[in-house]
Amino acid sequence: MTKVAGLFGWPVEHSLSPGMQNAAFAAAELDYTYVPFAVPPARLAEAVQAIRALGLVGANVTIPHKIEVMQYLDEITENARRIGAVNTIVNQNGYLIGHNTDGDGFIHSLREQAVAVVGRQILMLGAGGAARAVAAGLLAAGCSKVIVAARALERAQELTQHFTGMPVEAQLWSDLDESGLLQKTDILINATPLGMSPHTDQMPSINWELLNPTAVICDLVYNPLVTQFLRYASQRGHKVITGEGMLAGQGALAFQLWTGKTAPFSIMLSAVQQHFPIF
């Protein structure tokens, strides 16, 4: 019998996950299907209950349900708890476990591009939900330090407080030049929406003259695939990592949790890439 994984969001019409997951199931010759469900916030509890009632293998959870859904699950992984959100539910015979694959999805995309994380110093621009997930992934993967820079120091501190005892520091973005941190950065990540369509001419402001010339530059924004930030970094000779790898990576890890099989990452990446302009 066909196994079903769902996507709970509100709205869900524009999600790329159905195309990505169904392409992966087909490529892996698995009798699974992935179905988007538009779940109004007031009906989230019922939708979670339906995973058990209908025997879904699990579900992805997207905006606006990622935090709210946690109260309806039987178990939350330590990683998802640290990130403060769940993006993947796994149904183990009616016992629902909440995972978060966003941060590890980012690490997955770095590995695919042969970018090492162990011992590397990271500078993260932005301190929202995506930054928190990526910080969790980087710290778990063994980076030496994550510096979280935000335009308000309190916002960066709000993030770092979730990683007590780990090598993570809050930094005021406007003080970066004097901090000496740009020179020490091995991996620089844009975790703000700057540059996202339709504002494709925007990019995070940093002093490129001070930045370590061998730093790898990553953008979490994936629409467009190559942002102004990455285009400029590339012109300056930096290796760049585009945002769609994280999207495909989080999907690949969800696929693995539901099926127990290695995901066909390149198929998932192509499914995502088809949807976006290069610029």
Positions marked catalytic: 66
- Rounded to an integer, what distance in angstroms lies between the CA atom of residue 170 and that of residue 148? 5
Supply φ then ψ for residue 101, to 5 degrees. -105, 5
Question: Least distance to ligand NAP from the beta carbon of 50, Å?
Answer: 26
- Which residues neighbour 142 within 8 Å (Cβ) at sequence distance 6 or greater? 117, 118, 119
Report the residue closest to ligand NAP, judged by CB. 128
Question: Least distance to ligand NAP from the beta carbon of 53, Å?
Answer: 30
Strands, E, within 202-266: which ranges?
216-219, 240-241
DSSP 77-122: -HHHHHHT---EEEEETTEEEEE--HHHHHHHHHHHTT---TT-EE
Question: Least distance to ligand NAP from the beta carbon of 162, Å?
Answer: 14
- 3-state secondary structure at position 41: helix
Nearer to ligand NAP, 7 or 51 (CB): 7
Nearer to ligand NAP, 89 or 269 (CB): 269
Nearer to ligand NAP, 91 or 192 (CB): 192
Nearer to ligand NAP, 72 or 106 (CB): 106
Question: Least distance to ligand NAP from the beta carbon of 93, Å?
Answer: 30
Q: How far is CA 182 from the centre of its chain?
A: 23
DSSP 166-179: SSEEEEEGGGHHHH
Nearer to ligand NAP, 92 or 205 (CB): 205
Q: How many helices (H) and strands (E) does the chain have?
A: 11, 12
Nearer to ligand NAP, 88 or 91 (CB): 88
Placement of tokens 């980012």 in the chain: 106
- Rounded to an integer, what distance in angstroms lies between the CA atom of residue 63 and that of residue 95? 23
Residue ranges binding ligand NAP (CB under 6 A): 126-131, 150-152, 155, 191-194, 196, 220-222, 243, 246-247
- Rounded to an integer, what distance in angstroms lies between the CA atom of residue 204 and that of residue 109? 22
Answer yes or no: are the C-beta atoms of 125 and 148 closer than 8 Å: no
Q: What angle do CA 134, 138, 144 make, to 5 degrees?
A: 140
Question: Least distance to ligand NAP from the beta carbon of 14, Å?
Answer: 13
Question: Least distance to ligand NAP from the beta carbon of 204, Å?
Answer: 7
